[in-house]
Amino acid sequence: MMNLIPPPEIYETQAIPDKSAMLNVNDYLHSKQNVINNTLKNIFSEPPHGTSNRLIQAMYYSLLAGGKRIRPILCLASLEALGVTANPTILKFASSLELIHTYSLIHDDLPAMDNDTLRRGKPTCHVQFDEATAILAGDALLTHAFGLLAEIGVGEPEYAQACMRIIHLISEASGYEGMVMGQMHDLANEGKIVSLEALEETHRLKTGALIRAAVVSGGILGHADQNQMGALKKYADHIGLAFQVMDDLLNIEGDPDLLGKAVGSDLERKKCTYPSLLGIERSKTYAYELVNNALHALAQFDTKADPLREIALYIIHRNK
């Protein structure tokens, strides 16, 4: 397991208001995970016991299999940084991001993609059910996410404009201009040595785009001004890359029991990763640099942005 100790400059070069009063990030994440999980259960009810609808079973299985819920939590933390408290409608906005993220995981795990057999400590969707069902479950979750957003816009006129902006934002982030194209680049890069710039572009699309959309969605719902939105975007861009760097490192040095999936798969598939390109130690340093930049981006915010700050630090200390 990795033993990461952040360089002192991560805190020393960033003016974080009253560091001694920083929140406990584990408690914060656990609390928000419970809120998101409860919202997801209300949005997508557990199929009746014994139901023969295999598609519904597969959707529920993948969506409620656990997970960090980082994307919806980032949306809520961004909102809180602007002094706005989430209500049930905003929780639906945030949860739509998890529907999209879960769809992407189902498809990434398929034999034609990464061919993974474990996800969150459980058999992947195509292993638990079958490949065709997994494809359709992913399709259905993606579609349902946009249906949920549209339903909010139609049913609650005060959110109509925000809905249109967020639907446009998320469609770009999850489609061929974002996550899907990033996955295509990732597949095309297998067995190749690419430049750092090309690798970063891949992961800005594959991982970073939806993380950015999550943070920006919170900014939209919190009525961020131009300067605030610019800062939130910079923060999101840096933590999006840092998240992927740490994913690559965990695939080498992580504990499979904690990760809930196998390690070493990147090497087996000859994926171009940050450790393969930069080496392990330089990759760790790079992750710290990215997080430091993310903290600097939040300089204009007060202690209400502490959850965003702590999430950035959590990204380089996580073990799963």
Q: What are the residue ranges spanned by the domains of the chain?
A: 9-315
* Residue showing tokens 């006129």: 157
In terms of Cα–Cα distance, which of 85, 212, 201, 103 is closest to 147? 103
For residue 50, the cross-strand partners are none
Contact 61, 109 (CB under 8 A): no
* Residue showing tokens 């529920």: 60
For residue 223, give the DSSP letter. Answer: T
Q: Per residue of the chain (320 residues), give pLDDT as tens.
A: 333 434 444 444 443 444 444 579 999 999 999 999 999 999 887 776 656 689 999 999 999 988 899 999 999 999 999 999 999 999 999 999 999 999 999 999 999 998 999 888 899 999 999 999 999 999 999 999 999 999 999 999 999 999 999 999 999 999 999 999 999 999 999 888 899 999 999 999 999 999 999 999 999 999 999 999 999 999 999 999 999 999 999 989 877 777 666 777 888 888 889 999 999 999 999 999 999 999 999 999 999 999 999 999 999 888 77
Q: Which amino acid is at 53?
A: N
Instruction: Report the Cα 32 to chain-centroid distance in Å.
Output: 14
The domain 9-315 is classified under which CATH number: 3.30.430.20, 1.10.600.10, 3.40.50.720, 3.30.365.10? 1.10.600.10
